[in-house]
Structure formats: structure tokens, C-alpha cells
Structure 1
Amino acid sequence: MSVVTRREAGADVCAQVRDGAWDGARAGVRAVVHVVVGAVGGAGASTLAALLARELALAGGRVALVDLDHGAGGIEVLLGIEDVPGARWSDLLQVRGTVAVEDLAGLLPRWRGVEVLSGDRSGAPPGTQALDAVWDALVRGCAAVVVDLPGHCPVLPTVVQRLCGPRSEVVLLTGQDVLGVAGALTVRPALGDGAVRLVLRRRSRARVSPSEAADLLDLPLGTLLPTDRQLADGVDRGFGPVPGRWSRLGRAVRRLAEGPGPGPGRAHRARG
């Protein structure tokens, strides 16, 4: 495997998919894949992706967290691992072909038992050949892979289709309010007919009930995420988002990790 640092990235993956440059669906996906998509800005999709990956890692097995939100400065900032040695997307831009699973072992920085493949402040996204090669190695070598994917990608349906296989699901996160549900209704058609679960960021004095939101979106409700004011303090201090495992937020993430998820026949609730 060739690793070249800080090289010209080329076009963003979304643009390359739109232009038809991303070829070759991956076969033999082995990891369970969770693609976390934020329907609206500020919903906390990156935080949820990190917490879900950490919860899955606590269950044992190799878990990777993949940052595909290349305009956000890197999920490493949220996790407080900017100075931890290891490869970022900008270091893997020239990777091509088939990558052996063992080539990635020990290459990525770790956060609380999770291998993290993050963007960085250079903002360099991977080209599609690099993304294809690295993604294939991760899903062959990990028990679970969690992806932070922005909902504003203009070709979201194609990206979701490329990332997801038979053991995959999309977690659609939005706020428990009118604007949040409206944003989710806009994003929902792009997520396809595979396994999709709804997660709501709980709002105080919400006028939209969880059941109403689930019915409008025709999706099963994975969980409600309460606000945990300690998270921001942990991030500011460089520890990353770490709620107490038995806090309300910790229990909500655990329910999401343990609940019905990826697998054959886990399609969204059938319409009418």
C-alpha cells in the first residue's frame, strides 16, 4: 500500500459520484455498517456517530469511525485527537487497488477503542479510488464501521447506495421539531429502501411527538437523544463527547446500538 501525505486531493467524493467517476460496488461486505446522516445542521450527527462507534467498541471487536464530512474540519477535532499519531484522509490520497486488511492495522489514530479515519484542517477529501480501496479494507477487517455522512451531499442517494450492503443501515438524525421533521422529509427519499431508523434529538416543550414524526417519515423510531450538557465541556477539554454510560444519553445510545439494525429484511416500515 502506498501512503503519500498532503497531496492534491482532487474533487470531493460527492462531485465524483455525480460525474460518474466512482466505479465498482464492493462485494463481500463483512462489517456491520451504520451510516449516520444528519437531516439538518446542528443536529449532532458527528457526535452521535462517535458515541455509537464507542458503544459498539465496548461490545468487543474492531470498530472504525469514518469521517466523510470533509467541510467540517475533521471529526478529530470533536474527539480531541488532533495530535494523536496516525493516518488521516489526507495521508491516504494516493492509495489505489486492493488494500490488505493488515495494512490498516495500527495505522489509524484511536479514540476510546475506536479506529478513526478523519479529515483534517487541510480539508482534503479522498479521491474516489482511495476511498474505494480504504473502505473495502475496513469493511473486510472490522466488526462494525460507523460513517459520519452529511445530509447536504447533492448525490446522497448514490453515496448511500455505494456505502451500504446487506448488513448496513442508515440512521437518520433530526430534531424533534417542525423544522427538523421538514428537513428529514427532504432527505428521506435519498436514503433508499434499505434499513433506515429515525433518531430524534429531544426538544423541550416539543410540539411534535416522536410517534408523529415517525409516522410522517414512515420510519421506525430508533431512540430519542436527550441533551447532555456535560458533552460540550468534555469536547472543550479535549476528551471528546463522553457521556456517562448510565446517563440518559448513554442509555439512549446503547438502545440504538442494541436495537434492531442492519441485516437482511430490516427494511423500513412498509407503507400503508
Structure 2
Amino acid sequence: MLCLPPRGGSNDPTSGHHRRRRPARRSGARRRGRRLPARRRPRTRPRPPLLVARADRGGRRRPGRRRGRLRAAGQAEGLPGHQAGRRSRQLAAMRRRGRPGRRRVARGELRLVEEFADALEPSPRAGVVVGVVGGNGGAGASLLSACLALAASRRKLRTLLVDADPLGGGIDVLLGQEEAKGARWADFVSREGRVSSAALQAALPAFGELTVLAFHRGEVEAIPPGAMRSVLEAGRRGFDLVVVDLPRHVDAAAAEALSRASSTLLLVTADVRGVLAAAQVLGEIRRHTGAVGMVLRPGVLEESVVAASLDLPCAGHLADQPRLAAALNKGDLTLIDRRSVLGHFCATLLTDLMAA
């Protein structure tokens, strides 16, 4: 940084009648004035020196307070000097148009904010996030998600069930709680940043130890990745288990959930068409996570053939549940107790997931 002394102007003590001129020594030489003693200088406020920063070398205008803040924003983004100046002008134009630009916060400041927020939250937990996705339509991913969450709540584990499939029938309908009061995804799509786990649990519909986040009926708005990230991070801090019912088509929100899941279960029907469809879904899933296990539904193919075709370990066999259609139409999954086929399978699978 260079500091140039003041020169010229109405307040300069060496300008006007205060400057004594004398002939130049040679042609083209610059005329210089003799500086007056301090006791003979007029009592005027001198002009402050001109500061020239590296990004403004050659400029004549002093940066004001707002310009300094904008320049700091450009340098906080890691831009070189000339690009920092350009970014500052862009942010200044945004302010003039009434759209204030966001100042990027340093990672250290974000970490400090998170540490303070963690200290304020009561008894933070380290929850397990599990994703469930169907290999083909009607494989039963939503049913397995709901039953797995119910099995965890019966063990007195604080559980969060997240419906991430906007085109599904609604995870709350499976539980018979579509009329329950509480927040839905439409109340979280505009949220970014940190969400308190206590506030999340208080806002959502809860049934004992089970808390559910589903969609509203009617027109559905896509889930932004930032909203999914905030919900899952709050769920990890405030719950023992987070079960996410994922869509077969991996959108941005599903990709965010897959990247944060401890394990992902892929339901595969043991027939030719089911295996081929599951292979297509698996290719999309593996772009975002590597912790994928297979849950096999009954079919004509053997487990070894399906496992070799998909190159996946088998997490268990999900057999058909008697009188399941009647229970689903009533919206009452409590009929499926621990002694049922589905209840016993979910209890065994839950033990393996929590141990891992």
C-alpha cells in the first residue's frame, strides 16, 4: 500500500498565495514551492493523504466505507485484485437496484455459529440417517420406510420419518395421519441454513416417539437441496434415527439426502424386469453414495443371481405380509405388530442398522 502526500486543492497550505514561485532551473522542469513554517500556515484542516490499494493502483478516489465493505466481500470470495474490484462494482449495482448482495461468511465464523447453536440445543444426539428407495414401481419402499420408523419408535428411539418423494401417495397416509396438524414440506422449502432440532420436532406432527415430515395435498413444490440439508442436519442432531423415503428418480434433494445417508436400502423384486429396473436406479444412486444394501422381495430368481447381477450385498428378505392390503386401506399400520412377518423383519433390520 502506498501513501501519497496531499497536493493541491483549496485547503492545501502550499497552494494559491501561500506558494512562492521561483524560476525553474531548466526547461520543462517542475516548479516547486517552498513549504512555509508551521507558525505561518493558515489554520485550515489539511486534506488527508491518498491511500492507493493494490487493487486500485493508479486510482485517485478514496474508497468510502461502503466501497470498503464491498471490496472486502470480493476478497472474501478468493478473487484476484482486478476481479475483486469488478465484483465490488457488481455488488454496488445490486445495492442501487434494491437487491443487497449477500456477504459470504468465513468458514471460521460459520463454525463458531454452529458451536454456539450446538451448545444451546438440549442434549444433542448423533442420529443415523437411512435412505429407502424402490428398485421398481410398487416394490414397497414407502411401506418399508414407515414400518422401519414404527419399529424404531416402539423401541423408544426418537425417530424422524421424512417423505422425499413429491409424487408419492404421502407417507402420512400410510400411517393414517394425513389430517394431523403440523408443518409440511411447504413450510420448509424456503428455509436455508441451520434449523433447530427442537423447533423442528415441535413444528411437525408427532405420534409418541415418531415425528413425520410429509407433503401437502394438491400442487407439490420441489424440495430445494438447502432445505433437505437443513432438515437432515437437524434430524441428525435431535433424533436417534432418520428414515428418508426416496424417489426412484434422483433429483437434487434426493441427491442431497443420499450423500448424507449412513446407509441406503434398495428394494429389489426377484424377477427379470425388477432386476433390470433396479440396475437403472442403482446406477443413479451410486453417483451420490457407496453405502447401498439390497432388500430382496420374493420372485422367480434366486438371491445369488440377483446379488451377482447388481453386485450388492443382501441386507435381508422381505416376505409378503398377509392381510397387508386391508391394513393399508384402513391406514392403520399398528395392526402389523412385532410378531408379524413385516414387523419381525423391520426389528431385525433395525438392529443391524443401528449397530453399523
Structure-2-length-normalised TM-score: 0.59
Q: 1:133 is matched with which residue: 225, 230, 250? A: 230
Tell me if 1:169 matches 2:263. yes
Q: 1:43 is matched with which residue: 134, 139, 158? A: 139
Tell me if 1:102 matches 2:198. yes
Tell me if 1:191 matches 2:285. yes
- State the 1:232 CA deviation: 1.9
Q: Any residues of structure 2 matched to 1:114-125 within 5 Å, and which?
A: 114-122=210-218, 123-125=220-222
- State the 1:161 CA deviation: 4.4
Q: Which structure has more helix as a fraction of its residues?
A: 2
Per the alignment, residue 313 of structure 2 pairs with 220
Structure 2 contact 172–178 (Cα < 8 Å) conserved:
yes
Amino acid paired to 1:189: G
Aligned in 2, Cα 1:160/1:85: closer, same or farther, shift over 3 Å?
A: closer
Partner Cα distance (1:233, 1:253) in 2: 20
Corresponding residue SS for 2:131: strand
The structure 1 segments of at least 4 consecutive aligned residues displaced by more than 6 Å after TM superposition are none
Task: List per-residue Cα deviations over 1:30-76 (Å, max 9, x = no partner).
Answer: 31111001110010100001111111222222110100000124211
Partner Cα distance (1:156, 1:88) in 2: 16
Q: Where in structure 1 are there 5+ consecutive unaligned residues?
A: 1-23, 264-272
Tell me if 1:92 matches 2:185. no
Structure 1 contact 95–129 (Cα < 8 Å) conserved:
yes
- State the 1:160 CA deviation: 5.0
Corresponding residue SS for 1:259: helix
Percent identity over paired residues: 36
Per the alignment, residue 179 of structure 2 pairs with 83
Partner Cα distance (2:315, 2:222) in 1: 30
Partner Cα distance (2:348, 2:305) in 1: 20
Structure 1 contact 225–249 (Cα < 8 Å) conserved:
yes
CA RMSD of aligned residues (A): 2.7
Bigger-Rg structure (1/2) = 2
Q: 2:327 is matched with which residue: 223, 230, 234? A: 234
Aligned in 2, Cα 1:235/1:161: closer, same or farther, shift over 3 Å?
A: closer
Partner Cα distance (2:191, 2:251) in 1: 25
Structure 2 contact 229–256 (Cα < 8 Å) conserved:
no
Structure-1-length-normalised TM-score: 0.76
Partner Cα distance (1:118, 1:141) in 2: 18
Partner Cα distance (1:159, 1:96) in 2: 14
Structure 1 contact 214–220 (Cα < 8 Å) conserved:
yes
Structure 2 contact 127–241 (Cα < 8 Å) conserved:
yes
Aligned in 2, Cα 1:46/1:113: closer, same or farther, shift over 3 Å?
A: same
Q: 2:336 is matched with which residue: 243, 246, 265? A: 243
Structure 2 contact 246–254 (Cα < 8 Å) conserved:
no
Structure 2 contact 265–294 (Cα < 8 Å) conserved:
yes
- State the 1:97 CA deviation: 2.2
- State the 1:189 CA deviation: 2.6
Aligned in 2, Cα 1:39/1:243: closer, same or farther, shift over 3 Å?
A: same
Corresponding residue SS for 2:282: helix
Partner Cα distance (1:112, 1:45) in 2: 23
Corresponding residue SS for 1:116: strand
- State the 1:114 CA deviation: 1.4
Q: Any residues of structure 2 matched to 1:5-24 within 5 Å, and which?
A: none
Q: 1:151 is matched with which residue: 238, 242, 248? A: 248
Partner Cα distance (2:143, 2:206) in 1: 16
Aligned in 2, Cα 1:157/1:70: closer, same or farther, shift over 3 Å?
A: closer
Per the alignment, residue 11 of structure 1 pairs with none
Partner Cα distance (1:260, 1:141) in 2: 18
Name which structure has the greater RCO, CA cutoff 8 Å, separation 6+: 1
Per the alignment, residue 275 of structure 2 pairs with 181
Structure 2 contact 224–253 (Cα < 8 Å) conserved:
no
- State the 1:235 CA deviation: 2.1
